[in-house]
Structure 1
Amino acid sequence: MRRSTHGGRHELGQNFLTHTPTIRRVTDLAAATRGPILELGAGDGALTGPLAGLGRPLTAIDIDEHRVARLRRALPGVAVQRADALTVALDRPVIVGNVPFHLTTPILRRLLTAGSWNEAVLLTQWEVARKRCGVGGSTMLTAQTSPWFVFSLHGRVPAGSFRPRPSVDGGIIRISRRVEPLVPKTQRAHYERFVRAMFTGRGGSLDRVVANATRADRGRARRAMADHGIDPRALPRDLTPRQWAALWRRLGE
């Protein structure tokens, strides 16, 4: 395989999936969705072939022109395009991809702020997958986007499942766009600032953090927390998406 004009595997962050059970798992998750599929980072086609077998319209992109040419020859029924996951239009209902580990965060940020897709099945770094799905508590990014998206974790993928072997394990996540958002989309920028203020605020206790972030008095903050089942000993990372949305409606707006 000739070297791409964008660099070799190291520069492109390419770790090709070779683990058959993981390929099957990702394909099964994609099969449970509906509509045309966009695959990000097709690489050697480990996922492209099984996804094509679902019998649905499939567009596969990769930045490596040589792999694009090879996939076009191998899978003539698939629309294989040379494109960048950071700029391609996210205009298919379903997004699937073995995401380059070094681009996991920017690709996720783009997915969560752009496009008209409904479901995404992604293979990412394990630590990113775990955090995005709220294992051990949610991150600020997850809390900021949870009124519009649902995150679920579908397994850990050992580093030995990739070629070349990365230094960390992978994780499979599914992201679903909520049919009925918990916060109006028009309020997204304000809501994100509210969450940031909560995560970065000081106070020593959650009611103080809430009061400082919303400029409410502590008594009102305590009542809002109690009404929505929020433990006063909790931290912002412990709140559920519905608790976040409830606090926003009660105090943040």
Structure 2
Amino acid sequence: MSSDHRAGPHELGQNFLTDRRIIQTVIDIVADTEGPIVEWAAGAGALTVPLSKLSRSLLAIEIDSHRVAAVRRRVGPHVCIVEGDILRHAPPPVGAVLVSNVPFHITTAVLRRLLGQRTWHMAVLITQWEVARKRAGVGGATQLTAQWWPWYEFSLRQRIPAGSFTPRPSVDGGLLVIERRTRPLVTGNPTRYQQWVRAVFTGPGNGIAEILTRSGIARRDALRGVR
């Protein structure tokens, strides 16, 4: 990412959402929730401005100082717009709903950071179509999704055509909603469980039992990790 905050959207990896129907879909999802709202990568304010009309606490984070100033002029004093790096900013407050048109080039880093935080209860994300599809387990779960599935529900809401963004990206986007489970499916050590999943996805062998044996994970330890 360029250190020049005056760089254009390509340099910042941002594709601004311009489709009003998609914007309204995001707002409708958020409107059906409660709690403070946090927006990552606010960009030019396409989501920030309508989110501000929900009359809830709203914190929007954007790395470009010029866009921060521009969005501030478009919203009321109840909205906090700050300049910052979403990969380094403090976690959202407890019970928050997180919204983001995620810069495509940092999608994986954003998801890993987000899933490791324990405060927010729902995330409404726009990502690349393939990322949204895989995270929702469409066509089979990925390792990352499987590692976090006991704690979160992933749902794919819709495909977003590339023409819904400016500049137009080379791929379509997807609307992904992640909700924290009220009761995790796994009560054991998260690290142990995630190591077990990693072994299943990457270990040599045929079948879970052989993979775990070759990976040096005792079967009883694996079972303990998923209880």
TM over 0.5: yes
Distance 1:167 1:75, change over 3 A: same
**1:70-85 counterparts in 2 under 5 A?**
70-77=70-77, 78-85=79-86
Q: Which amino acid aligns with 2:168?
A: R
The structure with more helix, counted as a fraction of residues? 1
Indicate how the Cα distance of structure 1 residues 252 and 67 shifts in structure 2: closer, same or farther if over 3 A, else same: closer
SS in 1 for 2:60: strand
- Say if 1:4 and 1:65, in contact at 8 Å, map to a contact too: no
Q: Which amino acid aligns with 1:28?
A: D
What displacement does 1:76 show? 2.7
In the other structure, the counterpart of 2:129 is 126
Rounded Cα–Cα distance in structure 2 between residues aligned with 1:76 and 1:136: 43
Match of 1:23, SS state, is: helix
Partners of 1:26 and 1:168 in 2: how far apart? 20
What are the within-5 Å matches in structure 2 for residues 93-172 of structure 1?
93-172=96-175
Q: C-alpha separation between the residues in 1 aligned to 2:66 and 2:134?
A: 34
Q: Given the alignment of the two structures, is residue 64 of structure 1 paired with residue 61 of structure 2, yes or no?
A: no
Question: Secondary structure at the residue paired with 1:199?
Answer: helix
Name 1:173's counterpart in structure 2: 176
State the alpha-carbon separation in 1 of the partners of residues 28 and 226 from structure 2: 40
Q: Distance in 1 between matches of 2:148 and 2:38?
A: 22
Work out whether residues 52 and 76 of structure 2, in 8 Å CA contact, stay in contact via their aligned partners in 1. no
Q: Is 1:88 the counterpart of 2:94 in the alignment? A: no
What is the one-letter code of the residue matched to 1:136? G
How many pairs are equivalent? 221
> How far, CA to CA, are the matches of 1:211 and 1:33 in structure 2?
45
Alpha-carbon distance between aligned partners in 2 of 1:252 and 1:183, rounded to the nearest angstrom: 5
Task: Report Cα offsets for 1:111-151 as digits up to 9, x if no partner.
Answer: 00124111100000111000000001000000101111110
Task: State the distance in 2 between where 1:44 and 1:251 align.
Answer: 44
Q: Structure 1: where are the runs of 5+ without partners?
A: 221-246
- Structure-2 change in CA distance of 1:191 and 1:200 (3 Å): same
Q: TM-score, normalised by structure 1?
A: 0.81
TM-align CA RMSD? 2.1
Q: CA deviation at 1:44?
A: 1.0
**Residue in 2 aligned with 1:28?**
28
Partner amino acid for 2:145? T
Instruction: Give me the whole-angstrom Cα distance separating, in 1, the residues matched to 2:147 and 2:28.
Output: 29
Runs of 4 or more consecutive aligned structure 1 residues displaced over 6 Å after TM superposition: none
Aligned residues with identical type, % of pairs: 52
Q: After superposition, what is the alpha-carbon deviation per residue over 1:160-181, rounded to whole angstroms, capped at 9, x for unaligned?
A: 0000000010000111111111
- 2:50 maps to 50
Q: Which structure: larger Rg?
A: 1
Residue 244 of structure 1 aligns with which residue? none
Residue identity opposite 1:91 in structure 2: P
Shift of residue 188, structure 1, vs aligned partner: 1.0
After TM superposition, the structure 1 stretch with the greater mean CA deviation from structure 2, 200-209 or 42-51, is 200-209
Contact in 2 for aligned 1:17/1:162 (Cα 8 Å)? yes
**Aligned mates of 1:56, 1:4 — CA distance in 2:** 32
Deviation (angstroms), 1:206: 4.4
TM score, norm. by length of structure 2: 0.90
Q: Which amino acid aligns with 2:8?
A: G
Report the residue type matching 2:39 in the other structure.
E
1:81-140 residue CA offsets vs partner (Å, 9 max, x unmatched) = 111110111223110010000011000000001241111000001110000000010000
Change (3 A) 1:98 1:201: same
- Consecutive unaligned residues of structure 2, counting only runs of 5 or more, are none
Which whole-Å CA distance do the structure 1 matches of 2:226 and 2:152 have between them? Answer: 20
